[in-house]
A and B are shown apart, each in its own frame.
Chain A
Amino acid sequence: MEEPFVKTQIRKDENIVYKRTSLLVDRPLSYCPGCGHGVVHRMLMETLEEMGIQDKTIGVSPVGCSVLAYDFMNIDMIGAAHGRAPALATAIKRLWPDKFVFTYQGDGDLAAIGTAETIHACNRGENFTIIFINNGIYGMTGGQMAPTTLPGMRSSTSPYGRNVLTMGHPLKITELIANLPGVNYVTRQAVHTPNHVRKTKKAIRKALEQQKENKGIAFIEVVSNCNSGWKMTPVQSNKWMEENMFPFYPLGDIKVDGKLVQSSEVAK
């Protein structure tokens, strides 16, 4: 197919300033068009590559849309039973304290079925990194309500919107976790604009770096879209996320070096 504006003069290998990292396996990602999971995968792999620790890292993939993360991340990975990634990561890190260990989990995985594993691993102060993709829904299974679903938000099991009187309140598990003494670093980021993606990458780097110092859990929430579950186009879903998710899940650091920051936001 002919492209109208091909600049062959510049399109040379020595002029490449950005290309897909080779730590992402060269195959199509299984995610819906526009889904934030792919961006987080790429930032994680870029960070491992830049730190040169891809051979020393073990990832734990969840159950959820990212169940196949081990097919995309070209590092040592293991799949956990639904919600049990923090338990598995605990065992791995205790057996191999010199490895860099992370879990990658959705909100259904981390904040519903895996709440106990998550909270206790955090409270024990295990020394691994948790990457938490909060899209406010069970994406994989058809868009059911999650603990993180916003008040009034429609899902396949709350078709008229989440009624907090009968369905309970959304769980800000990240703020809950930030209050645990075993947790050293907590931040909430997003990946829908270039700036947000850059910040998320920095947070991932910071989280992995601190594993060298045995400081306890580093927890990164990424507020992300699920355009299929939300029934919007990707671009619409990113806008909806800014307008509805961010006011309830405000972005920024929540705990740094073991100290709570942004406490006014957390209290909201």
Chain B
Amino acid sequence: MAKIKGDILVNVERCKGCEVCITACPSSTIAMSKEVNGKGYHFAMKVNDECTGCMNCAIVCPDGVITVFRGKIE
């Protein structure tokens, strides 16, 4: 059966590692990377498959670096 799922894409080089998105995610989908980006910040990354595309993370992200997708998967 088709199911609605979400996905996020983080602009890694623009992320400042503030972790505000982690607090906002109801499905614990985001955690900080072990690596750092070019500016030296740990960046937000997806760590599970539970994203619903609710947009919470993207809305609170101070740097507006998250794009959110929502769609059907078979």
Contacts and interface: CB of A to CB of B under 8 A. Distances in A.
Interface stretch (A1-9, A210-218, A259-267): A1-9
A7 B9 contact: no
Given A1-B35, A29-B62, A37-B62, A7 B17 contact: no
Contacts, number: 115
Contact of A18 (B59, B71, B73): B59
A233 B6 CA distance: 29
A3 B44 CA distance: 11
Given A33-B62, A234-B20, A7 B49 contact: yes
A19 B67 CA distance: 5
A17 interface: yes
Contact-size category for B: 35 or more
Contacts of B60: 39, 191-194, 197
A101 interface: no
Nearest to B72: A10
A72 to B, nearest CB: 10
Majority secondary structure, B binding face? mixed
Nearest to B11: A20
Interface string A1-35: 10111110111101111111100100011011111
Contacts of B56: 194
B12 A33 contact: no
Contact of A235 (B12, B20, B48, B65): B20
B67 A15 contact: no
B18 A33 contact: yes
Contacts of B59: 18, 194, 197-198
Given A194-B56, A234-B19, A7 B62 contact: no
Given A4-B46, A17-B68, A33-B41, A234 B7 contact: no
Given A36-B62, A191-B60, A9 B16 contact: no
B55 A194 contact: yes
A20 B16 contact: no
Contact of B62 (A10, A12, A35, A194): A35
6 contacts: A5-B46, A18-B59, A18-B66, A33-B17, A34-B20, A235-B23
Interface of B: 5-7, 9, 12, 14, 16-20, 22-24, 33, 35, 41, 45-49, 51, 53, 55-56, 58-71, 73
Given A6-B46, A10-B6, A37-B62, 11 more contacts: A4-B47, A11-B7, A15-B7, A16-B68, A31-B62, A33-B62, A42-B64, A193-B60, A194-B24, A234-B18, A235-B22
